[in-house]
């Protein structure tokens, strides 16, 4: 009897070993811990407008030849690649061919004709001017873009936003429904949307400029939210903070009061870190600001360089937050001190960081591996430790990455 029980135990242990082994190995002997289930696609664009693709950040292919027109942004929506140049172009064959999708994209030339761009970088390299809002099982994904299309109704609450419920493809673009001025503290005026950020709770936040500046008067940025961006009939709501007086906004409730047009000014674009909204000045005069209530109140960050354009902000996997600069490298947010600090470990001297993105590999045994990528003036850089250290994997001069 004891021998029989011992024999049964041996069989049970052998079966457990077999199950564990089969979970880690294919019948062919391939280690599932090294087999990627779904390879990611990383797209990046150089300063001449050529588009490249890689699935590992190391080897790459040029999928679209340079056309002499630099890109402002690049994103994907479903299987569609959307490239923002003078217009929006779409590709359904992984970037090999692009077709015209939308022709009223915002640019520095049509923002009141006041020439905001600095070295052709801030406005004309603005990843957050287009954004995808992923759909669910019963709703298609939406793509939103900053637009200068004429307001068909001539209303005072013109927003400058176009949307598309078919992955950005041609023929599916519409102008948004304006905004509700009731919650705001500023008189209804046509505004020009310049940047988007999608919060963790699904709210789409937008940052816009007043058209009032065209008349030479003071102007500040105004903040808007769309709580249900997957609803084509949704109305944006203004959440701009209270004005202290008719000229200068309160620096603790809106973006900085020295943002006046014309004159010394800043140009802000958005990002987010978990539930915190971040606004960076792409011209360099006003630094970076943050809001913990989706744009109602703002406070200024410390630790960033003075008078240096801040070109991009991203928070990969909501584990770290990074800001790329013009000529001063990369800055990382220190949660302990609440300040930003320079982090150029592995990056070249005086490097310009124009784009930040993140990718995740899923392996067949259920494990994952995270990567962060930078598009810089010296090449594509990769980090495998949440942005602490960097390795250049592809040389070149790049503007956009997604």
Sheet holding 191-198, edge to edge: 179-180, 236-238, 221-226, 204-210, 191-198
The span from the CA of 305 to the CA of 12, in Å, is: 64
For residue 126, the model assigns a pLDDT of 87
pTM for this predicted structure? 0.86
Whether the predicted pLDDT of 8 surpasses 50: no
pLDDT on residue 134: 94
Over residues 372-393, the pLDDT tens digits come to 999 999 999 999 999 999 999 9
Q: Would residue 331 count as lying in a domain?
A: yes
Q: What is the mean pLDDT of the chain?
A: 82
379 is a domain residue = yes
134 lies in the same domain as 15: no
Q: Which residue has the tokens 């927003």?
A: 159
In a domain, 63, yes or no: yes
Say which residues have a Cβ less than 8 Å from residue 13's Cβ, sequence separation at least 6: none
Do 62 and 200 sit in the same domain of this protein?
yes
**What contacts 339, CB < 8 A, 6 or more positions away?**
301, 302, 303, 333
Provide the pLDDT for residue 212.
Answer: 53
pLDDT digits (tens, 9 = 90+) for 128-156: 999 999 997 778 999 999 998 877 676 77
Q: What is the pLDDT of residue 253?
A: 56
Contact 97, 91 (CB under 8 A): yes
Domain range holding 135?
Answer: 40-401
What is the rounded distance in angstroms from the CA atom of residue 223 to the CA atom of residue 112? 19
Which of 101-105, 298-302, 365-369 comes out lowest in average pLDDT?
A: 365-369
Give domain status of residue 35, yes or no.
Answer: no
Contact (CB, 8 A) for 110 and 103: no
Sheet holding 130-133, edge to edge: 130-133, 142-146, 161-164, 173-175
Does residue 91 form part of some domain? yes
Portion of the chain with pLDDT greater than 70, in percent: 75
pLDDT band at 184 (very low <50, low <70, confident <90, very high): low
**Residues 126 and 269 reside in one and the same domain:** yes
Question: In which band, very low, low, confident or very high, does the pLDDT at 211 lie, cut at 50, 70 and 90?
Answer: low
- Enter the tokens of residue 144: 């939103």
Residue 30 pLDDT greater than 50, yes or no: no
Instruction: Using pLDDT thresholds of 50, 70 and 90, give the confidence band for residue 262.
Output: very low
Same domain for 216 and 287, yes or no, is yes
Q: What is the total count of domains within the chain?
A: 2
CA dist 223 and 268 (Å) reads: 11
pLDDT digits 0-9 by tens, 86-124: 899 999 999 999 999 999 988 766 665 444 444 445 567
Q: Which residues contact 102 (CB under 8 A, 6 or more apart)?
A: 87, 88, 145, 147, 162, 164, 168, 170, 173
d(CA 125, CA 359) in angstroms, rounded, equals: 21
Q: What pLDDT score was predicted for residue 63?
A: 96
Residues 231 and 355 grouped into a single domain: yes
Give residue 242's pLDDT.
Answer: 54
Mention every residue, 6+ apart, whose C-beta is less than 8 A from residue 5: none
Chain segment 317-334, per-residue pLDDT in tens:
999 999 999 999 999 999
What pLDDT is attached to residue 86?
Answer: 87
84 lies in the same domain as 26 = no
Report the largest interatomic distance among the alpha carbons of the chain, rounded to a whole angstrom: 99
For residue 87, is it within any domain?
A: yes
Shared domain check, 378 and 276? yes
What is the average per-residue pLDDT within 69-85? 94
Whether 17 and 157 map to the same domain: the answer is no
- Is residue 138 domain-shared with residue 1, that is, in the same domain? no
Residue 10 shares a structural domain with residue 112: no
Domain with residue 154: its CATH number is: 2.130.10.10
Asked whether residue 196 is assigned to any structural domain, the reply reads yes
The answer to the question of residue 75 being in a domain is yes
Shared domain for 250 and 352, answered yes or no, is yes
CA–CA gap between residue 50 and residue 247 (Å, rounded)? 45
Convert the chain into a string of H (helix), E (strand) and C (coil). CHHHHHHHHHHHHHHHHHHHHHHHECCCCCECCCCECCCCCEEEEECCCCEEEECCCCCCEEEECCCCCCCCEEEEECCEEEEECCCEEEECCCCCCCEEEECCECCHHHCCCCCCCCCCCCCCCCHHHEEEECCCCCCCCEEEEEECCCCCCCCCCCCCEEEECCCCCCCCEEECCCEECCCCCCCCCCEEEEEEEECCCCCEEEEEEEHHHHHCCCCCEEEEEECCCCCCCCCEEECCCCECCCCCECCCCCCCCCCCCCCCCCCEEEEEECCEEEEEECCCCCCEEEECCCCCCCEECCCCCCCCCEEEEECHHHCCCEEEECCCCEEEEECCCCEEEECCCCCCCCCCEEEEEEEEEEECCCCEEEEEEEEECCEEEEECCCCCCCEEEEECCEEEEC
Q: Are residues 360 and 310 in the same domain?
A: yes
Average pLDDT over residues 359-372: 88
The pLDDT, as a whole number, for residue 208 is 87
Tens digits of per-residue pLDDT, 155-172? 778 899 999 999 999 999
């Amino acid at each position: 009897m004891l021998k029989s029980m011992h024999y049964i135990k041996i069989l049970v242990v052998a079966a457990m070993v077999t199950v564990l082994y089969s979970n880690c190995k294919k019948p062919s002997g391939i280690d599932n811990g090294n087999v990627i289930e779904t390879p990611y696609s990383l797209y990046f664009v150089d300063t001449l407008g050529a588009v490249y693709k890689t699935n590992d950040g190391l080897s790459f292919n040029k999928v679209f030849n340079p056309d002499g027109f630099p890109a402002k942004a690049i994103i994907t929506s479903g299987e569609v690649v959307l490239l923002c140049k003078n217009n929006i172009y779409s590709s359904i064959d992984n970037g090999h061919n692009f077709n015209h999708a939308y022709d009223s994209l915002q640019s520095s030339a049509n923002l009141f004709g006041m020439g905001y761009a600095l070295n052709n970088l801030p406005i004309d390299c603005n990843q957050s001017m287009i954004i995808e809002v992923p759909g669910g099982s019963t709703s298609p994904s939406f793509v939103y873009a900053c637009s200068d299309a004429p307001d068909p109704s001539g209303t005072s609450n013109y927003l400058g936003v176009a949307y598309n419920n078919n992955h950005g493809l041609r023929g599916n673009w519409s102008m948004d429904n304006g905004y509700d001025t009731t919650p705001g503290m500023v008189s209804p005026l046509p505004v020009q949307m310049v940047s988007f950020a999608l919060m963790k709770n699904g709210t789409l936040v937008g940052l816009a400029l007043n058209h009032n500046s065209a008349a030479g008067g003071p102007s500040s940025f105004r903040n808007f939210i769309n709580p249900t961006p997957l609803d084509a009939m949704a109305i944006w709501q203004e959440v701009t903070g209270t004005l202290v007086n008719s000229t200068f906004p309160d620096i603790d409730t809106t973006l900085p009061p020295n943002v006046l047009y014309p004159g010394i000014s800043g140009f802000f674009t958005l990002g987010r870190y978990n539930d915190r909204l971040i606004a960076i000045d792409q011209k360099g005069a006003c630094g970076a600001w943050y809001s913990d209530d989706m744009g109602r109140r703002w406070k200024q960050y410390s630790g960033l360089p003075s008078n240096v354009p801040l070109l991009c902000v991203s928070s990969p996997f909501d584990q770290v937050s990074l800001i790329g600069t013009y000529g001063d490298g990369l800055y990382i947010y220190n949660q302990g001190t609440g300040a930003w600090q320079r982090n150029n470990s592995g990056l070249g001297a005086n490097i310009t960081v124009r784009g930040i993105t993140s990718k995740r590999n899923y392996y067949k045994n259920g494990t994952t591996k995270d990567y962060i990528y930078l598009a810089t003036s010296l090449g594509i850089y990769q980090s495998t430790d949440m942005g602490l250290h960097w390795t250049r994997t592809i040389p070149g001069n790049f503007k956009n990455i997604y």
